[in-house]
Structure 1
Amino acid sequence: MTDTLHTPADRITSSEFDESQAQAVDALIVGAGPVGMFAAFQLGLQGVQAHLCDSLPQMGGQCIALYADKPIYDIPGIALCTGRELAAQLQQQIQPFHPVFHGHTQVAQLLPHGDGRWRVQLQAIDGLQTRWLLARTVVVTAGVGAFVPKQLRLPGLDAWLGSQVFYHPAFDDAWLEPVLARHPAPRIVIHGGDEAAVEAVLTAAGHAALQAAQLVLMHRRDQFNAPDALLQRLAQLRASGRVEVVIGMPQAIDAGEHLQAIDYVDADGADQRLACDQLWVFQGLSPKLGPLLDWNLALAKKQLQVATDTFQTNAVGIYAAGDIVSYPGKRKLILSGFYEATMAAMAAIEYLRGEKLLLEYTTTSKRLHERLGVSHPD
């Protein structure tokens, strides 16, 4: 499925809060996994457009990061689906409500604004870009935490983060265009050995804007953990010379006014130098709570404490659902997360409107049918 839920093109690059530049939103969902997407669905049914943010560049959360192609058997009414298929179905389900997705970002700050709203700083995972939101409600569906890239530890490398070094980048013109402006035929080194790294080099090889680029896939050994179909395509690109594979372990960088090369040790233990204009690092992802620990929300064993009638945290207007929450009798199942997301979304709607929510059914409600874009039976 093509991703039509885009981050707005306008971005704020300063870390200082400026209310005139902050975007006002009714509901922000932190975490765009299955539970977050279902919260967006429930909010959309009630006429509230949700913004979702996630550290991953696409929606899906654990379903994409941990078991994209593994079977799931416990979704009601669906005998079998993969994590990728479930994420695609949920994304299709929320399309009628036009949610706004902020991918490859995490909430760096969550602070009270003083008027009942929450001041939210969204920061890009792979650089320094920042934007601010003023959210009336926040629903935290962060699962086991934000899936953030594992770092490549080389002295001085972080100085080029966001300009020449990127972790798990999406193919976003906002950062590709400056790259191509500096280097019309850049030498791009993709470091990693799993499926994400292989997919990245295959996508880059077919990207219209990168046809003149030199592509290098770098890994510590000449074995890659990816499906056979992807490995066959990689072999074809290697044979044709479109992709170069370099076997070695990075040791240092060469840099002056810009990053120029990577020093590495090859399979024979010899020191080598690899020219590099862009370094894309794919060393896998690991979940971390990160800034969430600093949001002054009640935690127990790194899980948010919620009231089970509303799934509100100890902060007014902030709700939570899914694996990130804990309460007596909690079961860590997607099914439980869907229920919690529903309860949190309905409570958020009542908070926004200041009145009890009228219960309607998608089977019979003309208003819900209109929001879903389906015809109402006579």
Structure 2
Amino acid sequence: MAAVLPGLGASGATVETDVAIIGAGPVGLFAVFECGMLRMRSVVIDALDTIGGQCTALYPEKPIFDIPAHPAIEGAALIHRLEEQAAPFAPLYLLGRRVEGLSATGDGYELRTSAGDTVRARAIIIAAGAGAFGPNRPPLAGLPGYEASGGVRYLVSRREEFRGKRVVIAGGGDSAVDWALSLKEVAAKVTVVHRRPKFRAAPESAARLDEAAARGEIELAIPYQLHGLEGDGSTLTGVVLATLKGEEKTIPADHLLAFFGLSMELGPIADWGLGLSHSHVTVAQSTCETSLPGVHAIGDIATYPGKLKLILQGFSEAAMAAHAIHPRVFPGEALHFEYSTSKGVPGA
């Protein structure tokens, strides 16, 4: 196959590669490494305009505790390390576009993207997580203007941006509770809005929230819901809350963080005949191959008996898929399993 140049691809590119990887999250990035260790070139396609998937978009500064050899590592740091690990194999990243079409060719598949790219590959690895995602937005008047200015946000990229600010956090899950506990260290004031006293967060985190509220470090607005925004249409000055009985109050605020979960969709992948089960792709456990020969799925999007939705299991699936793909890229060539400690990194 034609060599793939490293770096970012321009729109409308026509590329030939060994493996096309759909999804640039942690599992997709590790698949680049695993394919590279078997001398297979990769092109990585992602709808976001940067690599990292949810680690980058949703919790770049939140620690992850179940990555082997890292007692704790922040999401952004994990992605940086995975990018470094993949770099020797010069992957081509086609970012800010989604895969719109799939068709079989004589020796593999052809993918077409929303940016007009054509990617021809011997095999495909779908590492799309839960699919394309976006925040569930509260139905508030004037919301777009405050979103554009950063007054209303759905994720925290840098904690320091909230230093000395008045922050209202809406939601009752882990994201709302975890960021309330984190931002109380830097924000001038943190108010958590929830419609009921019981939170859906991890019990230990919810207990810490209650303790912080008892010490006056966090204000709890319960049982309230978001009702409106105050400001000039761009700069936020306050958040209007209301109870189910219609009682209202306004909390002065510079930022509203709304954590109401994500809206997920698989997009065109859902129409590829992959044997979906509740928006997940059923795969063979030993190879991660889907119902389409040469198309594999790994990470959160893949399902099989005993599946655990853990990043570390996705890493294992990346290795299994790469080894299963090798015969398609190098037909007739025997694959002798070797440990990386013995053979090193090819070309390094």
Global fold match (TM > 0.5)? yes
Equivalence for 1:29: 21
- Residue 307 of structure 1 and its aligned partner are, at CA, apart by 1.1
Hey, what's the Cα distance between the residues in 2 that align with 1:190 and 1:65?
18
Q: 1:74 to 1:265 in 2, by over 3 A?
A: closer
Q: 1:101 to 1:193 in 2, by over 3 A?
A: same
Q: 1:56 to 1:265 in 2, by over 3 A?
A: closer
Hey, what's the Cα distance between the residues in 2 that align with 1:149 and 1:108?
22
Aligned with residue 57 of structure 1, among 49, 53, 56: 49
Residue 363 of structure 1: SS of its match in structure 2? helix
Residue 23 of structure 1: SS of its match in structure 2? strand
- Residue 248 of structure 1 and its aligned partner are, at CA, apart by 4.9
Identity of matched residues, %: 33
Equivalence for 1:329: 306
Residue 105 of structure 1: SS of its match in structure 2? coil
CA-to-aligned-CA distance 1:271-321 (integer Å, 9 cap, x gap): xxxxxxxxxxx9996432111111111111111111122111110110111
Q: 1:96 to 1:229 in 2, by over 3 A?
A: farther
Q: Which amino acid is 1:305 matched to? A: T
Equivalence for 2:89: 97
Equivalence for 1:136: 122
Hey, what's the Cα distance between the residues in 1 that align with 2:301 and 2:156?
29
Hey, what's the Cα distance between the residues in 1 that align with 2:14 and 2:138?
33
Decide whether the 8 Å contact of 1:26 with 1:135 is kept in 2: yes
Q: 1:248 to 1:116 in 2, by over 3 A?
A: farther
Q: 1:193 to 1:92 in 2, by over 3 A?
A: same
- Residue 249 of structure 1 and its aligned partner are, at CA, apart by 5.3
Aligned with residue 152 of structure 2, among 193, 196, 199: 193
Q: 1:289 to 1:195 in 2, by over 3 A?
A: closer
Hey, what's the Cα distance between the residues in 1 that align with 2:305 and 2:113?
32
- Residue 191 of structure 1 and its aligned partner are, at CA, apart by 6.1
Q: Which amino acid is 2:301 matched to? A: I
Structure 2 unaligned residues grouped into runs of 5+? 170-178, 189-229, 240-256
Equivalence for 1:279: none
> 5 Å matches for 1:351-362?
351-354=328-331, 355-362=333-340
> 5 Å matches for 1:115-264?
115-123=106-114, 129-148=115-134, 190=149, 193-194=152-153, 247-248=231-232
| Number of matched pairs | 262
Aligned with residue 289 of structure 2, among 298, 312, 319: 312
Structure 1: 4+ residue segments shifted above 6 A: 149-153, 195-199, 224-232, 264-268, 282-285
Q: Which amino acid is 2:53 matched to? A: G
| TM-score scaled by length of structure 2 | 0.64
- Residue 41 of structure 1 and its aligned partner are, at CA, apart by 0.4
- Residue 359 of structure 1 and its aligned partner are, at CA, apart by 0.8
Decide whether the 8 Å contact of 2:20 with 2:44 is kept in 1: yes
Decide whether the 8 Å contact of 1:193 with 1:223 is kept in 2: no
Equivalence for 1:7: 8
Decide whether the 8 Å contact of 1:248 with 1:267 is kept in 2: no
CA-to-aligned-CA distance 1:177-235 (integer Å, 9 cap, x gap): xxxxxxxxxxxx64662276997xx9xxxxxxxxxxxxxxxxxxx85879699989xxx
| TM-score scaled by length of structure 1 | 0.60
Q: 1:362 to 1:22 in 2, by over 3 A?
A: same
